[in-house]
Amino acid sequence: MPRLLLILLVAVAACRSGPTYAPPEYGNMAAAKARLEAAGRAGASPRDEALFLCELASASLCTGDEEGAFRALHGASRIMGTLESSSGENMRAILGSEATKTWKGDPHERCMGALYKGLLYWRRGDIDNASACFKNGLFADGFSEMGEHQQDFAVLSYLLGWANALKGRGEQTRFSFEEARRNAPENPWFGEADPARASVLVVADIGRGPKKYADGSANNLVKFAPRTWNEGGIEILSGGRSLGRSASGADLYLQAVTRGKKVLDGIRKGKAVFKEGSFAAGAILLHEGARRDKGGMAAVGAGLLLLSVLTNAQADTRHWTLLPGEVHVLPLSLPPGRHDLEIRVLDKGGRPIPGWSRTCTVAVQGGPGALYYVRPMPGQGIHALLDQSHGVIQ
Q: How far apart are CA 84 and CA 304, in angstroms?
A: 28
Residues 6 or more apart whose CB falls under 8 angstroms from that of 136 comprise: 81, 114
Q: 276-290: per-residue pLDDT in tens?
A: 444 455 545 445 555
pLDDT of 288: 55
Q: Are residues 198 and 331 in contact, defined by beta-carbon separation less than 8 angstroms?
A: yes
Enter the pTM of the model: 0.79
Virtual CA dihedral for 37, 39, 41, 44, nearest 10 degrees?
-120
- Helix ranges (H only) for 143-167 are 154-166
- Which helix (H) or strand (E) segment holds residue 362: the answer is strand 352-364
2-267+314-385: what fold? 1.25.40
Q: How far apart are CA 192 and CA 263, in angstroms?
A: 37
- Read off φ and ψ for residue 229, nearest 5 degrees: -155, 160
DSSP per residue, 90-117: HHHHHHS-GGGSPP---HHHHHHHHHHH
Q: How far apart are CA 134 and CA 117, in angstroms?
A: 9
pLDDT of 151: 78
Provide the pLDDT confidence category of residue 187 given band limits of 50, 70 and 90.
very high
Q: In this model, does residue 378 exceed pLDDT 50?
A: yes
Q: Is 367 left (phi over 0), alpha (psi -120 to 50) or beta?
A: left
- Read off φ and ψ for residue 351, nearest 5 degrees: -95, 140
Q: How far apart are CA 42 and CA 57, in angstroms?
A: 18
Q: 138-154: per-residue pLDDT in tens?
A: 998 876 544 555 678 99
| Helix/strand/coil for 84 | coil
Provide the pLDDT confidence category of residue 261 given band limits of 50, 70 and 90.
very low
Q: Are residues 196 and 333 in contact, defined by beta-carbon separation less than 8 angstroms?
A: no
Q: Are residues 248 and 327 in contact, defined by beta-carbon separation less than 8 angstroms?
A: yes
pLDDT of 59: 97
Q: 208-252: per-residue pLDDT in tens?
A: 999 999 988 777 788 999 999 999 999 999 999 999 999 999 999
Q: What is the mean pLDDT of residues 67-77?
A: 96
Q: Where are the beta strands (DSSP E) in 197-322?
A: 200-206, 211-215, 221-225, 231-238, 241-245, 247-251
Crossing angle of helices 154-166 and 107-123, rounded to 10°: 20
DSSP per residue, 9-34: HHHHHHH---PPP-PPPSS-HHHHHH
